[in-house]
């Protein structure tokens, strides 16, 4: 009986060894949630061209940074702002020479397609009873929203009272922009501050956008780089080169991101 048990265990170990020795490489990418559509496609193209398994972990940048600081192992970190990337660089978590800004984004206000609150301009966001969703201030899209509102507050056409009225209409603050967009598409709020890239062809049937004029808007800069603890640094560098290549840039522009 013992011999049979030992033999069975050896067989299991041999199968596991063969499966683990298939030679397939893995690349773990921690990626800002606003890049979900673009990087899902980029990751698939890279897999098809190289045979490397690209494992994408999408979340709010602030949550991904916390995961890295708590010891999570990944190969590439893609941030929706410089603040969180700069912090990881200062902490020694990044290969600083590999970090660069690879794309840009801008903020818009999105509303449900049927627009029940009849929001036609930024001024309408201050009307009593309008239900607004923003991001938590630690999330890049939440921080950008606050910057936009500060810019509006500094203009006499709006003023600090406008910013205060808009903030008093906020009913929810999300940690990931994908959560905000889903809630607006479902009609759970009247408006939300999101990225222009969040309005995918599929979502354009469920949400509309209200533009934010350039003098009030902010440019969202997206850096990426290789993590110091990467278990596959050469492949990480190769993936970064692909993202920043003309082919990668074409995919990003398809999803509403802007070239640097």
Residue 68 CA to residue 78 CA, distance in Å, equals 12
19-64 pLDDT per residue, tens? 344 456 999 999 999 999 999 999 999 999 999 999 999 999 999 9
User: Given phi > 0 = left and psi -120 to 50 = alpha, else beta, which region is 243?
Assistant: alpha
Q: Which pTM value belongs to this model?
A: 0.85
Mean pLDDT of 124-136: 98
Q: What is the phi/psi pair of residue 51, to 5°?
A: 80, 5
Q: What is the DSSP string of 115-139?
A: -TT---SGGGGGSTT--EEEE-TTS
Per-residue pLDDT at 24: 64
Better-predicted residue by pLDDT, 6 or 124: 124
Tokens 């630690």 correspond to 138
Contact 201, 254 (CB under 8 A): no
- Per the CB < 8 A criterion, the answer to whether 211 and 108 are in contact is yes
Residue 10 has pLDDT above 90, yes or no: no
Tens of pLDDT, residues 136-156: 999 999 999 999 999 999 999
Give 253's contacts (C-beta < 8 A, 6+ positions apart). 259
Model pLDDT, residue 21 = 41
**What tens digit of pLDDT does each residue of 191-242 get?**
999 999 998 888 889 999 999 999 999 999 999 999 999 999 999 999 999 9
Confidence class of residue 90 from pLDDT cuts 50, 70 and 90? very high
Burial of 242 per CB tally in 10 Å (0-12, 13-18, 19+): middle
Task: With a cut of 70, say whether residue 14 has pLDDT above it.
Answer: no
Position 1 scores a pLDDT of 45
For the chain, domains (ranges, CATH) are 2-104+221-254 (3.40.190.10), 106-219 (3.40.190.10)
For the stretch 76-88, pLDDT in tens is 999 999 999 999 9
């Amino acid at each position: 009986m013992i011999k049979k048990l030992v033999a069975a265990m050896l067989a299991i170990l041999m199968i596991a060894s063969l499966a683990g020795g298939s030679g397939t490489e893995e690349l773990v990418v921690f990626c800002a949630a606003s890049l979900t559509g673009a990087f899902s496609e980029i990751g698939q193209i890279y897999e098809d061209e190289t045979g490397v398994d690209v494992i994408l972990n999408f979340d709010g940048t602030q949550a991904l940074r916390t995961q890295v600081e708590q010891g999570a192992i990944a190969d590439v970190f893609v941030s929706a702002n410089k603040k969180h990337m700069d912090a990881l660089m200062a902490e020694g978590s990044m290969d600083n020479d590999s970090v660069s800004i690879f794309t840009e984004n801008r903020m818009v206000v999105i509303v449900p397609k049927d627009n029940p609150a009849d929001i036609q301009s930024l001024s309408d966001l201050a009307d009593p009873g309008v239900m607004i969703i923003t991001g938590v201030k630690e999330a890049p899209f939440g921080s950008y929203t606050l910057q936009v509102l500060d810019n509006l507050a500094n203009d006499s056409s709006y003023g600090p009272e406008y910013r205060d009225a808009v903030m008093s209409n906020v009913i929810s603050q999300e940690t990931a922009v994908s959560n905000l967009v889903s809630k607006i598409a479902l009609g759970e709020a009247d408006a939300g501050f999101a990225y222009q890239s969040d309005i995918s062809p599929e979502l354009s049937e469920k949400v509309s956008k209200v533009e934010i004029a350039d003098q009030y808007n902010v440019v969202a800069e997206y850096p990426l780089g290789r993590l110091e603890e990467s278990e596959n640094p050469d492949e990480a560098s190769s993936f970064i080169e692909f993202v920043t290549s003309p082919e990668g840039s074409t995919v990003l522009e398809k999803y509403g991101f802007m070239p640097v």
